[in-house]
Amino acid sequence: MGDLVLKIYPSFEGDFQLSEAGLARPVSGAMIHNYTLSGSRPLQGSQIEIVNLNKTMVDVLVNISYLNGEKVSLMLHPDAPLALLPGETSKWQVVRTYTVLGVEHIWFGIDHLLFVLALIMITKGFKKIVKTITAFTLAHSITLSLAVLGYANLPGPPVEAVIALSIVFLASEMLKLHLGKPSLTAQKPWLVAFSFGLLHGFGFAGALTEVGLPQSEIPLALAFFNIGVELGQIVFVIAVSAFLYLLAYKKNWPEVIKKVPAYAIGTIAAFWTIERFIGFWS
Protein backbone atom coordinates (compact mmCIF):
# COMPACT_ATOMS: atom_id res chain seq x y z
CA MET A 1 0.00 0.00 0.00
CA GLY A 2 2.38 2.67 -1.25
CA ASP A 3 5.13 3.09 1.34
CA LEU A 4 2.95 1.58 4.07
CA VAL A 5 3.98 -1.92 5.15
CA LEU A 6 1.07 -3.79 6.70
CA LYS A 7 1.61 -5.17 10.20
CA ILE A 8 0.88 -8.78 9.34
CA TYR A 9 3.09 -11.74 10.22
CA PRO A 10 2.91 -15.55 10.41
CA SER A 11 2.24 -17.36 13.64
CA PHE A 12 2.57 -21.10 14.31
CA GLU A 13 0.97 -23.04 17.14
CA GLY A 14 2.91 -24.98 19.76
CA ASP A 15 6.63 -24.70 20.42
CA PHE A 16 7.77 -23.67 16.93
CA GLN A 17 10.35 -20.89 16.85
CA LEU A 18 10.13 -18.34 14.03
CA SER A 19 12.89 -15.87 13.10
CA GLU A 20 13.24 -13.46 10.18
CA ALA A 21 15.77 -14.44 7.51
CA GLY A 22 16.87 -11.16 5.94
CA LEU A 23 15.03 -7.92 5.33
CA ALA A 24 11.61 -7.75 3.70
CA ARG A 25 11.64 -6.51 0.09
CA PRO A 26 8.92 -5.08 -2.18
CA VAL A 27 8.19 -6.52 -5.63
CA SER A 28 5.39 -5.73 -8.11
CA GLY A 29 2.96 -4.38 -5.54
CA ALA A 30 3.75 -7.10 -3.02
CA MET A 31 6.07 -7.47 -0.04
CA ILE A 32 8.27 -10.57 0.32
CA HIS A 33 9.13 -11.79 3.84
CA ASN A 34 11.46 -14.72 4.54
CA TYR A 35 11.54 -16.66 7.81
CA THR A 36 13.34 -19.63 9.31
CA LEU A 37 11.18 -21.99 11.37
CA SER A 38 12.43 -24.60 13.82
CA GLY A 39 10.64 -27.02 16.13
CA SER A 40 10.87 -30.35 17.92
CA ARG A 41 7.99 -32.03 16.06
CA PRO A 42 6.78 -32.34 12.45
CA LEU A 43 5.13 -29.23 10.99
CA GLN A 44 2.61 -31.18 8.89
CA GLY A 45 -0.85 -31.05 10.41
CA SER A 46 -0.15 -27.96 12.51
CA GLN A 47 -1.81 -24.61 12.00
CA ILE A 48 -0.45 -21.42 10.46
CA GLU A 49 -2.10 -18.04 10.98
CA ILE A 50 -1.33 -14.70 9.40
CA VAL A 51 -1.92 -12.36 12.32
CA ASN A 52 -3.99 -9.22 11.52
CA LEU A 53 -4.74 -10.45 7.98
CA ASN A 54 -8.48 -10.26 8.75
CA LYS A 55 -8.07 -6.48 9.18
CA THR A 56 -6.68 -6.01 5.66
CA MET A 57 -7.75 -6.39 2.03
CA VAL A 58 -4.70 -8.34 0.85
CA ASP A 59 -3.86 -11.99 0.24
CA VAL A 60 -0.79 -13.88 1.45
CA LEU A 61 0.98 -16.53 -0.62
CA VAL A 62 2.80 -18.95 1.72
CA ASN A 63 5.70 -21.00 0.33
CA ILE A 64 7.30 -23.48 2.76
CA SER A 65 10.50 -25.38 1.98
CA TYR A 66 11.14 -28.35 4.29
CA LEU A 67 14.67 -29.55 5.00
CA ASN A 68 13.90 -32.84 3.20
CA GLY A 69 13.22 -30.95 -0.03
CA GLU A 70 9.41 -31.00 0.03
CA LYS A 71 7.56 -27.81 -0.86
CA VAL A 72 4.19 -26.48 0.29
CA SER A 73 2.28 -23.58 -1.29
CA LEU A 74 -1.05 -22.17 -0.14
CA MET A 75 -2.95 -18.89 -0.28
CA LEU A 76 -4.49 -17.21 2.78
CA HIS A 77 -7.15 -14.49 2.59
CA PRO A 78 -8.63 -11.89 4.99
CA ASP A 79 -11.71 -14.08 5.49
CA ALA A 80 -9.55 -17.22 5.88
CA PRO A 81 -6.31 -16.23 7.68
CA LEU A 82 -5.70 -19.72 9.15
CA ALA A 83 -4.85 -23.04 7.53
CA LEU A 84 -3.64 -26.51 8.41
CA LEU A 85 -0.30 -27.31 6.84
CA PRO A 86 -0.32 -30.42 4.66
CA GLY A 87 2.66 -32.48 3.61
CA GLU A 88 3.86 -32.05 0.05
CA THR A 89 1.63 -29.70 -1.96
CA SER A 90 -1.09 -31.49 -3.92
CA LYS A 91 -1.61 -30.75 -7.61
CA TRP A 92 -5.03 -29.27 -6.85
CA GLN A 93 -3.49 -26.84 -4.35
CA VAL A 94 -0.97 -25.72 -6.97
CA VAL A 95 -3.72 -25.28 -9.59
CA ARG A 96 -5.94 -23.26 -7.27
CA THR A 97 -3.19 -21.12 -5.73
CA TYR A 98 -1.41 -20.13 -8.94
CA THR A 99 -4.61 -19.55 -10.94
CA VAL A 100 -5.77 -17.08 -8.29
CA LEU A 101 -2.30 -15.52 -8.21
CA GLY A 102 -2.38 -15.04 -12.01
CA VAL A 103 -5.82 -13.40 -11.95
CA GLU A 104 -4.77 -11.07 -9.15
CA HIS A 105 -1.51 -10.19 -10.87
CA ILE A 106 -3.23 -8.99 -14.06
CA TRP A 107 -6.02 -7.17 -12.20
CA PHE A 108 -3.56 -5.32 -9.97
CA GLY A 109 -1.01 -4.81 -12.77
CA ILE A 110 -2.32 -1.42 -13.86
CA ASP A 111 0.35 -0.96 -16.53
CA HIS A 112 -0.60 -4.22 -18.25
CA LEU A 113 -4.31 -3.30 -18.09
CA LEU A 114 -3.65 0.16 -19.58
CA PHE A 115 -1.78 -1.47 -22.46
CA VAL A 116 -4.69 -3.82 -23.15
CA LEU A 117 -7.19 -0.94 -22.80
CA ALA A 118 -5.32 1.14 -25.38
CA LEU A 119 -5.19 -1.84 -27.76
CA ILE A 120 -8.94 -2.34 -27.48
CA MET A 121 -9.68 1.34 -28.09
CA ILE A 122 -7.50 1.42 -31.22
CA THR A 123 -8.65 -1.89 -32.70
CA LYS A 124 -11.95 -1.79 -34.57
CA GLY A 125 -14.17 -4.86 -34.90
CA PHE A 126 -14.73 -7.82 -32.60
CA LYS A 127 -12.80 -10.32 -34.73
CA LYS A 128 -9.83 -7.97 -34.94
CA ILE A 129 -9.87 -7.47 -31.15
CA VAL A 130 -9.89 -11.25 -30.62
CA LYS A 131 -6.91 -11.70 -32.98
CA THR A 132 -5.03 -8.83 -31.32
CA ILE A 133 -5.56 -10.07 -27.75
CA THR A 134 -4.68 -13.62 -28.88
CA ALA A 135 -1.39 -12.33 -30.31
CA PHE A 136 -0.63 -10.49 -27.05
CA THR A 137 -1.47 -13.61 -25.04
CA LEU A 138 0.69 -15.88 -27.20
CA ALA A 139 3.65 -13.51 -27.03
CA HIS A 140 3.73 -12.98 -23.28
CA SER A 141 3.10 -16.69 -22.69
CA ILE A 142 6.25 -17.49 -24.69
CA THR A 143 8.57 -15.12 -22.82
CA LEU A 144 6.96 -15.85 -19.44
CA SER A 145 7.67 -19.57 -19.90
CA LEU A 146 11.20 -19.05 -21.26
CA ALA A 147 12.13 -16.67 -18.42
CA VAL A 148 10.69 -18.76 -15.58
CA LEU A 149 12.29 -21.95 -16.91
CA GLY A 150 15.65 -20.16 -17.17
CA TYR A 151 16.06 -20.14 -20.97
CA ALA A 152 15.88 -16.34 -21.33
CA ASN A 153 16.32 -13.44 -18.99
CA LEU A 154 16.17 -9.64 -18.97
CA PRO A 155 16.83 -7.38 -15.97
CA GLY A 156 13.63 -6.23 -14.30
CA PRO A 157 14.02 -2.40 -14.02
CA PRO A 158 14.67 -1.74 -17.74
CA VAL A 159 11.86 -4.13 -18.70
CA GLU A 160 9.39 -2.24 -16.48
CA ALA A 161 10.57 1.09 -17.92
CA VAL A 162 10.11 -0.05 -21.54
CA ILE A 163 6.69 -1.52 -20.70
CA ALA A 164 5.64 1.97 -19.58
CA LEU A 165 7.14 3.37 -22.80
CA SER A 166 5.07 0.89 -24.83
CA ILE A 167 1.92 2.40 -23.32
CA VAL A 168 3.11 5.90 -24.29
CA PHE A 169 3.51 4.60 -27.85
CA LEU A 170 -0.07 3.27 -27.90
CA ALA A 171 -1.39 6.58 -26.51
CA SER A 172 0.29 8.40 -29.42
CA GLU A 173 -1.24 5.86 -31.81
CA MET A 174 -4.68 6.64 -30.34
CA LEU A 175 -4.17 10.35 -31.11
CA LYS A 176 -3.09 9.55 -34.67
CA LEU A 177 -6.29 7.58 -35.12
CA HIS A 178 -8.43 10.54 -33.94
CA LEU A 179 -6.58 12.86 -36.31
CA GLY A 180 -7.09 10.50 -39.25
CA LYS A 181 -3.34 9.87 -39.68
CA PRO A 182 -1.86 6.49 -40.70
CA SER A 183 -1.30 4.33 -37.63
CA LEU A 184 0.72 1.12 -37.48
CA THR A 185 -1.37 -0.19 -34.59
CA ALA A 186 -4.67 0.53 -36.35
CA GLN A 187 -3.45 -1.22 -39.51
CA LYS A 188 -1.68 -4.19 -37.89
CA PRO A 189 -2.72 -4.32 -34.22
CA TRP A 190 -1.75 -8.00 -33.89
CA LEU A 191 1.85 -7.18 -34.87
CA VAL A 192 2.17 -4.43 -32.25
CA ALA A 193 0.43 -6.60 -29.64
CA PHE A 194 2.73 -9.54 -30.31
CA SER A 195 5.91 -7.44 -30.33
CA PHE A 196 5.20 -5.68 -27.05
CA GLY A 197 3.62 -8.82 -25.60
CA LEU A 198 7.05 -10.48 -25.66
CA LEU A 199 8.28 -7.69 -23.39
CA HIS A 200 5.28 -7.84 -21.06
CA GLY A 201 5.95 -11.56 -20.59
CA PHE A 202 9.28 -10.73 -18.96
CA GLY A 203 7.39 -8.40 -16.62
CA PHE A 204 5.04 -11.22 -15.59
CA ALA A 205 8.01 -13.56 -15.15
CA GLY A 206 9.81 -11.13 -12.85
CA ALA A 207 6.88 -11.03 -10.45
CA LEU A 208 6.33 -14.79 -10.55
CA THR A 209 10.02 -15.56 -9.99
CA GLU A 210 10.16 -13.26 -6.97
CA VAL A 211 7.06 -14.84 -5.42
CA GLY A 212 8.40 -18.33 -6.01
CA LEU A 213 7.27 -21.64 -7.52
CA PRO A 214 6.88 -25.07 -5.89
CA GLN A 215 9.98 -26.85 -7.18
CA SER A 216 8.22 -30.20 -7.61
CA GLU A 217 5.42 -28.68 -9.71
CA ILE A 218 7.04 -25.86 -11.71
CA PRO A 219 5.38 -26.66 -15.09
CA LEU A 220 1.94 -27.01 -13.46
CA ALA A 221 2.29 -23.80 -11.42
CA LEU A 222 3.58 -21.90 -14.46
CA ALA A 223 0.75 -23.16 -16.68
CA PHE A 224 -2.00 -22.20 -14.25
CA PHE A 225 -0.42 -18.84 -13.39
CA ASN A 226 -0.59 -18.15 -17.12
CA ILE A 227 -4.18 -19.40 -17.25
CA GLY A 228 -5.04 -17.13 -14.33
CA VAL A 229 -3.52 -14.15 -16.16
CA GLU A 230 -5.59 -14.98 -19.25
CA LEU A 231 -8.81 -15.41 -17.27
CA GLY A 232 -8.29 -12.03 -15.63
CA GLN A 233 -7.47 -10.49 -18.99
CA ILE A 234 -10.57 -11.98 -20.64
CA VAL A 235 -12.83 -10.57 -17.92
CA PHE A 236 -11.21 -7.14 -18.37
CA VAL A 237 -11.57 -7.23 -22.17
CA ILE A 238 -15.26 -8.22 -21.97
CA ALA A 239 -15.99 -5.48 -19.40
CA VAL A 240 -14.19 -2.78 -21.41
CA SER A 241 -15.74 -3.89 -24.72
CA ALA A 242 -19.23 -3.80 -23.19
CA PHE A 243 -18.59 -0.33 -21.76
CA LEU A 244 -17.29 1.00 -25.09
CA TYR A 245 -20.28 -0.55 -26.86
CA LEU A 246 -22.63 1.36 -24.57
CA LEU A 247 -20.73 4.60 -25.17
CA ALA A 248 -21.01 4.05 -28.92
CA TYR A 249 -24.74 4.82 -28.75
CA LYS A 250 -23.81 8.47 -28.32
CA LYS A 251 -22.05 9.13 -31.60
CA ASN A 252 -21.76 12.91 -31.38
CA TRP A 253 -19.14 13.15 -28.65
CA PRO A 254 -17.13 16.41 -28.91
CA GLU A 255 -13.66 15.95 -30.39
CA VAL A 256 -12.07 17.21 -27.19
CA ILE A 257 -13.79 14.46 -25.17
CA LYS A 258 -12.69 11.80 -27.66
CA LYS A 259 -9.05 12.72 -27.05
CA VAL A 260 -9.27 12.54 -23.24
CA PRO A 261 -8.55 8.75 -22.96
CA ALA A 262 -5.41 9.04 -25.11
CA TYR A 263 -4.05 12.00 -23.12
CA ALA A 264 -4.95 10.37 -19.79
CA ILE A 265 -3.28 7.06 -20.69
CA GLY A 266 -0.28 8.83 -22.20
CA THR A 267 0.22 11.11 -19.20
CA ILE A 268 0.13 8.25 -16.69
CA ALA A 269 2.45 6.11 -18.83
CA ALA A 270 4.88 9.01 -19.40
CA PHE A 271 5.09 9.55 -15.63
CA TRP A 272 5.79 5.83 -15.12
CA THR A 273 8.44 5.90 -17.86
CA ILE A 274 10.32 8.83 -16.31
CA GLU A 275 9.96 7.41 -12.80
CA ARG A 276 11.22 3.96 -13.82
CA PHE A 277 14.13 5.25 -15.89
CA ILE A 278 15.22 7.52 -13.03
CA GLY A 279 14.95 4.57 -10.63
CA PHE A 280 16.96 2.41 -13.04
CA TRP A 281 19.84 4.87 -13.38
CA SER A 282 19.87 6.14 -9.79
Look at residue 125 in the predicted model and tell me its pLDDT. Answer: 81
Is the pLDDT confidence value at 189 over 60? yes
Proportion of the chain above pLDDT 70, given as a percent? 91
Q: State whether 52 and 133 are in the same domain.
A: no
Average pLDDT over residues 43-49: 81
Final residue of a structural domain among 63, 88, 113 = 88
Q: What is the pLDDT of residues 116-151, one digit of tens each?
A: 999 988 888 888 888 898 899 899 999 988 888 878
Domain count, the chain: 2
Region for residue 68 given its phi and psi (left: phi exceeds 0; alpha: psi -120 to 50; beta: otherwise): alpha
| Whether residue 42 is found in the same domain as residue 138 | no
Find the domain containing 32 and state its range. 9-88
157 and 272, same domain (yes or no): yes
DSSP bridge pairs for 49: 11, 82
Shared domain check, 117 and 247: yes
Q: What is the pLDDT of residues 150-184, one digit of tens each?
A: 788 888 788 888 999 999 999 999 888 887 787 78
In a domain, 2, yes or no: no
The model's confidence at residue 265, banded by pLDDT at 50, 70 and 90, is very high
In 3-state terms the chain splits into helix, strand, coil percentages (rounded to 5) of 60, 15, 25
Last residue of a domain, one of 70, 88, 106: 88
Could you tell me if 48 and 167 lie in one domain? no
Answer whether residue 28 shows pLDDT above 80: no
Ramachandran category for residue 78: left, alpha or beta (phi over 0 → left; psi -120 to 50 → alpha): alpha
**Domain annotation covers residue 167:** yes
Q: What is residue 74's DSSP assignment?
A: E
Instruction: Give the per-residue pLDDT at 167.
Output: 93
pLDDT exceeds cutoff 60 at 1: no
Give yes or no: residues 78 and 169 share one domain.
Answer: no
State whether 206 and 243 are in the same domain: yes
Residue closest to 148 by CA, chosen among 229, 103, 212 = 212
pLDDT at residue 270 in the model: 93
Residue range 55-77: mean pLDDT, rounded: 82
On whether both 103 and 188 belong to a single domain, the answer is yes
Angle, to 10 degrees, between the axis of helix 218-247 and the axis of helix 189-211? 130
Q: Residue 281: its pLDDT value, please?
A: 66
Looking at the domain assignment, is residue 196 inside a domain? yes
Q: Is the pLDDT of residue 216 over 70?
A: no
pLDDT score of 211: 66
In tens, the pLDDT along 192-203 reads 999 999 998 888
83 and 102 housed in the same domain: no
The answer to whether residues 138 and 77 belong to one domain is: no
Lowest mean pLDDT among 59-63, 65-69, 139-143: 65-69
**What pLDDT band is residue 13 in, cutting at 50, 70 and 90?**
confident
pLDDT at 267: 93
Domain boundary among 56, 88, 120: 88
* pLDDT grade for 210, boundaries at 50, 70 and 90: low
More confident position, 158 or 257: 158
* Together in a domain, 106 and 19: no
Burial class (CB in 10 A: 0-12, 13-18, 19+), 15: exposed
In a domain, 40, yes or no: yes
Whether the predicted pLDDT of 229 surpasses 60: yes
Alpha-carbon gap, residue 161 to 263, rounded angstroms? 19
Same domain, 230 and 113: yes
The pLDDT value given to residue 3: 65
Cβ distance 107 to 236 under 8 Å? yes
Q: Nearest-CA neighbor of 168 among 139, 198, 203, 196?
A: 196
- Round the average pLDDT of the chain to a whole number and report it: 83
Report the pLDDT value the prediction gives residue 207, as an integer from 0 to 100.
73
